[in-house]
């Protein structure tokens, strides 16, 4: 039951209640110029109590709730790379909102202002200078997605009534245009021939690039490939784990369960892998080195090259060959798909080969490529029908 008192010209309400542990508590708030306003505010508090809300959480800060939510729902359930994002997001929230911002005081407009700020204030080092550039829309979307999930929990906990991230306008750069993410068949062939001709243990990146071209595998999957999962007699590699190339902790699970897959490989790749295995075994025998991980792409120094190093070598090769646009290792995956589509390989098999959960994902990611295939099919259909 609420009670009210007037101090000077302002009204204060006092709501007495018993918490979930049986302790008697009070919720007090003042500063209302009219008693009716204090009565309305007290009625809202009593309504929340009737709905089972924990008033002790009502004054929780944004960061306190974030920390609690991460500990309950996220910590220890994902890879270190993914979990590192939680710390990064927390820092962004703290820098903008401060450490004392109450969760329930953040409005939709406040959140939109934060999203706009976050999208437009990424510090990038260019040479010795630091410049402010836009973040990608994908990065902005990921941050909003994490916070949206957290706020859904806050609504369920009855700290908030609505999710202030709902229908937020996501800003940020769109990233590279689709056509810059893969190379055409002629350049794809040129790149493969160069890497095959120059493949040797001291230049392990050439083997890795050729493998990426011929399988469409992700870099972490290539790094995590071990010899026990390479069946050269049956021309198939089994993708069963990835490699933690950021923290160097060893094998990690694949991106998702469907990423565990078997990839059929060409005779050309079988020959390349046999060559690599022979070189590697000879080097290990000469140095007395034993790799308990049995990694396929460990070089003569017994190192596994990072994604960044392989990308630097890939860029140098592309520039040497006059390939434009210059793509990253992940661009080899896109180019692999473009090549298969151009040669009429069925989209369902491509999806399975890539390790996608379903064909819809493949269709969505590669929609821009499929338009070219569709145009070819339209022309072929019209040509066939014109013969009637």
Residues 99-112 pLDDT 10s: 999 998 999 999 99
What band does 369 get if pLDDT is binned at 50, 70 and 90? confident
Whether the pLDDT of residue 57 is over 70: the answer is no
From the number of C-beta atoms within 10 Å of its C-beta (0-12, 13-18, 19+), residue 68 rates as middle
From the number of C-beta atoms within 10 Å of its C-beta (0-12, 13-18, 19+), residue 115 rates as buried
What band does 52 get if pLDDT is binned at 50, 70 and 90? low
Whether the pLDDT of residue 270 is over 90: the answer is yes
| CATH homologous superfamily for the domain 179-381 | Intergrase catalytic core (1.10.443.10)
Whether the pLDDT of residue 343 is over 70: the answer is yes
Fold of 62-156: DNA polymerase; domain 1 (1.10.150)
Q: Are 70 and 114 in contact (CB under 8 A)?
A: no
3-state secondary structure of 293: coil
Residues 119-146 pLDDT 10s: 998 877 766 777 888 999 999 999 999 9
Where along the chain do its domains lie? 2-56, 62-156, 179-381
Residues 236-254 pLDDT 10s: 999 999 998 777 788 988 9
pLDDT score at 28: 83
Gap between the Cα atoms of 116 and 13, Å rounded: 38
Helices of type H across the chain: 35-50, 62-73, 80-97, 108-120, 137-156, 185-197, 204-215, 219-223, 267-287, 307-321, 329-342, 347-354, 359-365, 367-385
- Rounded average pLDDT over 370-385: 76
Gap between the Cα atoms of 21 and 197, Å rounded: 74
* CA torsion angle 104 109 111 114 (round to 10): -130
What band does 180 get if pLDDT is binned at 50, 70 and 90? low
Q: Are 373 and 388 in contact (CB under 8 A)?
A: no
Tokens matching residue 114: 């934060």
pLDDT score at 99: 93
Strand-pair partners of 12: 5
């Amino acid at each position: 039951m609420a009670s009210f008192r007037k101090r000077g010209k302002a009204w204060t309400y006092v709501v007495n209640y018993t918490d979930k542990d049986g302790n008697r508590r009070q919720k007090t708030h003042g500063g209302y110029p009219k008693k009716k306003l204090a009565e309305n505010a007290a009625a809202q508090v009593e309504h929340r109590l009737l709905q089972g809300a924990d008033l002790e959480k009502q004054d929780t800060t944004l960061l306190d709730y974030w920390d609690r939510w991460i500990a309950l729902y996220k910590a220890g359930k994902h890879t270190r790379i993914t979990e590192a994002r939680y710390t990064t997001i927390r820092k962004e929230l703290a820098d903008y909102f401060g450490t004392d911002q109450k969760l329930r005081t953040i409005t939709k407009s406040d959140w939109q202002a934060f999203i706009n700020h976050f999208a437009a204030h990424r510090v990038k080092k260019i040479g010795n200078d630091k410049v402010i550039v836009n973040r990608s829309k994908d990065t902005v979307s990921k941050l909003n997605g994490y916070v949206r999930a957290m706020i859904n929990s806050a609504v369920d906990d009855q700290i908030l009534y609505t999710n202030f991230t709902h229908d937020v306008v996501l800003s940020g750069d769109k990233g590279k245009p689709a056509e810059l993410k893969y190379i055409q068949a002629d350049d794809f062939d040129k790149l493969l021939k160069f890497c095959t001709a120059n493949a040797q243990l001291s230049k392990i990146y050439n083997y890795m690039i050729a493998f990426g071209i011929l399988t469409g595998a992700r870099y972490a999957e290539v790094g995590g490939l071990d010899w026990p999962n390479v069946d050269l007699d049956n021309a198939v590699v089994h993708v069963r784990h990835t490699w933690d190339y950021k923290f160097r902790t060893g094998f990690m699970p694949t991106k998702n369960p469907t990423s565990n897959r078997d990839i059929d490989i060409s005779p050309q790749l079988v020959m390349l892998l046999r060559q690599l295995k022979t070189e590697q075994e000879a080097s290990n025998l000469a140095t007395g080195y034993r790799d308990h991980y049995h990694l396929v792409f460990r070089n003569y120094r017994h190192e596994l090259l990072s994604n960044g190093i392989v990308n630097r070598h890939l860029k140098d090769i592309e520039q040497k060959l006059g390939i434009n646009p210059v793509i990253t290792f992940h661009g080899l995956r896109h180019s692999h798909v473009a090549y298969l589509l151009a040669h009429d390989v069925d989209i369902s098999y491509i999806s399975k080969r890539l390790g996608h959960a379903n064909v819809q994902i493949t269709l969505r990611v590669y929609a821009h490529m499929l338009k070219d295939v569709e145009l070819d099919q339209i022309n072929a259909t019209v040509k066939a029908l014109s013969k009637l």
